[in-house]
Amino acid sequence: MEMRAVYAECLAELMTQDRHVVVLDADLAKASGTRKLYERFPDQMFDCGVAESNMASIAAGLSSYGFKPWIESFSPFATRRICDQIAISISYAKQNVKIVGTDPGISAELNGGTHMSMEDIGVVRSIPGVVIFEPVDETQLRAAMPVLNSYYGPVYMRLFRKVTPDVFGPDYRFDLFRADTLRTGTDLTICVSGMFTRDVLDVADELAAEGVNCEVINVHTIKPIDRETVIASARRTGAVLTVENHNVVGGLHSAVCEALALERIPVSALGVPDRFGEVGKIPYLRQALGLTKEDIRAAARKAAAAK
Amino acid sequence: MSMDWKACCREIRCDILRCIGHLGVGHIGGCLSVVELLAVLYFEEMNIDPADPKKPGRDRFVCSKGHAGPAVYATLSNRGYFDKAELLTLNQGGTHLPSHCDMNLTRGIDMTTGSLGQGFSCAVGVALGSKLERDGATIYTLIGDGESQEGQIWEAAMFAAAKKLSNLIAFTDYNKLQIDDTVAKVNDIAPLADKWRAFGWNVIEVADGNDAGQVSAAVKLAKSCRGGEKPTMVILNTVKGCGVKWIEELGSGNHNCNISAEQAEAAIREIRGED
């Protein structure tokens, strides 16, 4: 199932339970998978047209009136385009707005460089008070949606909107502020967020056969990062690799480095090498930006050898 | 019993000068220009209770030109929201009265504003919220004329008209001045009434926005449009720095200017007609 379909299903459930849950679009409801909800929830769905700044501040106004607004757009327009509205109307004013940015990083594919947010986490991470969450699969997204809705305060959710490979099983227990350790190992800690998580698990399995045991941590919440889990793992393994669909500046790598700044443990990075995106399908973009499974495997070997 | 607007506005003006004068610097011009509006809203038109500042269903005021905070604080304290002595803490470290309005710090402030253009959108969101709740509240908001150069103002204007938010009454403090020069010279917003009409709003123009009688009549007319199809914009032709001759004469220099304690005292005497 596509992630956006799961997201829309969860929103529908939340809106059914609580008429104060409202959703605002900036002419991308179809892309976000929520267009069909307009007929079902005419008093809870509002399309603001192509005006993201207005959408964000209107959501803040609705929040001040006791509503629980969710706003949606492509990730560059849900973050860098409206960072002042997120900062002032939403977070500084302590408003309860959920911000959903779809098609993060290279998943913008054919929309190309203009629509490809390599910096969205960096932009939002520097604004005090905003939680940043990136789900990896359907199970985690389903578990997270009601938790995000009942958490009072701004959250930015970075949502890959197409089909993703399964990572979590039916027994999964979600904690917004606790990272998930997916594999335990002694030689290297790999911190991963978002769309590369399944590949990192595969790489960990392959390296285990070579005698390199990787601990894999899914850092679904990049801010506030689960320092305890990351530091404890890094101390055990003595080396860390971060893997992300984002610029290596400002995103998961930066967050992990900040957490480990006093630990004297090498932290290697695999992510977008501080450059803009370009048009292309995901396999091409992974090749062009050095983000293939082979790149992950090579980076993990090198990182494990770095200590 | 009719309200003594002159006395009411005189008190608010003196309190603005007292608190900014105590500090020595502040947004004097754009505070003095909106006193009549604030007096009419808080002392006559708004359904509010100073004893219960968060009462559900109350009317709300969003000061989108957030730098007029001191004028709102002076009005709120005169209306009984907090002690007048607190006005002297304006902009001091740890104060509840920051230069720009903050709903989480100040009793009676309905929205955090200061990044221009955003407060107006927030007010539109508040008006939408009130409409969804069907609580009958009227949502008032004030924007600056310089602020009207922000694109977000017009995004929100379009949305409010499209959603028929007739519970929203907005005001423009049209004092014709902004920080760098006159509005006409920097980036003219004229013809302002035509723009709002073209965006689908009722427009009421007030010849002298520093005449409380005219402002009061305009607000009553605007309120009579509630329940219709359109939001209403009231354009207040005002004087920036209104009430103190030397401040008015500073022109665009009075947006954020220095004022000594002695100058503030003299200005208060001038307003009271004691000179």
Contact call for A53 and B128, based on CB within 8 A: no
Residues of B with Cβ-Cβ distance to A62 under 8 angstroms = 125-126, 128-129
As annotated, the residues of chain A forming the CATH 3.40.50.920 domain(s) are 180-305
Summarize pLDDT for A239-281 with one digit per residue, the tens. 999 999 999 999 999 999 999 999 999 999 999 999 999 999 9
pLDDT band at A4 (very low <50, low <70, confident <90, very high): very high
Residues of A with Cβ-Cβ distance to B120 under 8 angstroms = 57
Q: C-alpha A246: how far from its chain's center?
A: 10
In one-letter notation, the amino acid at residue A69 is: P
pLDDT at res. A307: 82
On the question of pLDDT at B275 being above 90, the answer is no
Mean pLDDT over B221-243 rounds to 97
| B110, B128, B152 ranked by CB distance to A53: nearest | B152
Q: Which domains does chain B have, with CATH numbers?
A: 5-271 (3.40.50.970)
On the question of pLDDT at B178 being above 70, the answer is yes
Summarize pLDDT for B105-145 with one digit per residue, the tens. 999 999 999 999 999 999 999 999 999 999 999 999 999 99
Residues of B with Cβ-Cβ distance to A94 under 8 angstroms = 104
Summarize pLDDT for B57-74 with one digit per residue, the tens. 999 999 999 999 999 999
SS3 B50: coil
| B122, B155, B159 ranked by CB distance to A89: nearest | B122
Per-state percent for chain B, helix, strand, coil, to nearest 5: 45, 10, 40
pLDDT at res. B2: 78
Phi-psi region of A114 (alpha: psi -120 to 50; beta: other; left: phi over 0): alpha
Compare all CA atoms of chain A with the CA of B133 and give the residue at the minimum distance. Answer: A65
Contact call for A54 and B155, based on CB within 8 A: yes
On the question of pLDDT at A81 being above 60, the answer is yes
Residues of B with Cβ-Cβ distance to A97 under 8 angstroms = none
pLDDT at res. B1: 54
Contact call for A51 and B132, based on CB within 8 A: no
Third-level CATH fold of A180-305: Rossmann fold (3.40.50)
As annotated, the residues of chain A forming the CATH 3.40.50.970 domain(s) are 3-159
Residues of A with Cβ-Cβ distance to B111 under 8 angstroms = 61, 64, 93
Q: How far apart are CA A274 and CA A266, in angstroms?
A: 20
Q: Six-digit token pair at B153?
A: 């103002």
> Is B167 touching A (CB cutoff 8 A)?
no
> Is B92 touching A (CB cutoff 8 A)?
no
Contact call for B129 and A54, based on CB within 8 A: no
| B62, B115, B163 ranked by CB distance to A84: nearest | B115
Q: How far apart are CA B214 and CA B45, in angstroms?
A: 14
* Test the A interface: residue of B111, B116, B122 with most A CBs within 10 Å: B122
pLDDT band at A7 (very low <50, low <70, confident <90, very high): very high
Contact call for B158 and A88, based on CB within 8 A: no
Mean pLDDT over A36-47 rounds to 98
Q: How far apart are CA A155 and CA B158, in angstroms?
A: 27
pLDDT at res. B56: 95
On the question of pLDDT at A69 being above 80, the answer is yes
Domain A3-159, what architecture? 3-Layer(aba) Sandwich (3.40)
> Is B53 touching A (CB cutoff 8 A)?
no
The distance of B211 to chain A (nearest Cα, Å) reads 31
| A51, A58, A87 ranked by CB distance to B125: nearest | A58
pLDDT band at A58 (very low <50, low <70, confident <90, very high): very high
Residues of B with Cβ-Cβ distance to A51 under 8 angstroms = 155, 158-159
B63: β partners: B142
Mean pLDDT over A181-209 rounds to 98
The distance of B182 to chain A (nearest Cα, Å) reads 26
Summarize pLDDT for A105-125 with one digit per residue, the tens. 999 999 999 999 999 999 999
The distance of A50 to chain B (nearest Cα, Å) reads 9
pLDDT at res. B226: 96
| B102, B112, B130 ranked by CB distance to A65: nearest | B130
Residues of B with Cβ-Cβ distance to A92 under 8 angstroms = 112
The distance of A88 to chain B (nearest Cα, Å) reads 7
SS3 readout for A18-81: CCCEEEEECCCHHHHCCCCHHHHCCCCEEECCCCHHHHHHHHHHHHHCCCEEEEEEEHHHHCHH
* Test the B interface: residue of A65, A81, A97 with most B CBs within 10 Å: A65
pLDDT band at A15 (very low <50, low <70, confident <90, very high): very high
Name A188's Cβ contacts closer than 8 Å, sequence gap at least 6. A212, A213, A214, A215, A237, A239, A240, A241, A300, A303, A304
Contact call for A58 and B159, based on CB within 8 A: yes
- The answer to whether A219 and A192 have CB atoms below 8 angstroms apart is yes
Compare all CA atoms of chain B with the CA of A46 and give the residue at the minimum distance. Answer: B163
Q: Could you tell me which of B131, B134, B160, B135 has the C-alpha nearest to residue B64?
A: B160
Mean pLDDT over B256-266 rounds to 96
* Test the B interface: residue of A57, A73, A84, A96 with most B CBs within 10 Å: A57
Summarize pLDDT for A135-191 with one digit per residue, the tens. 999 999 999 999 999 999 999 999 999 999 999 999 999 999 999 999 999 999 999
Q: What percent of chain B shows pLDDT beyond 90?
A: 98
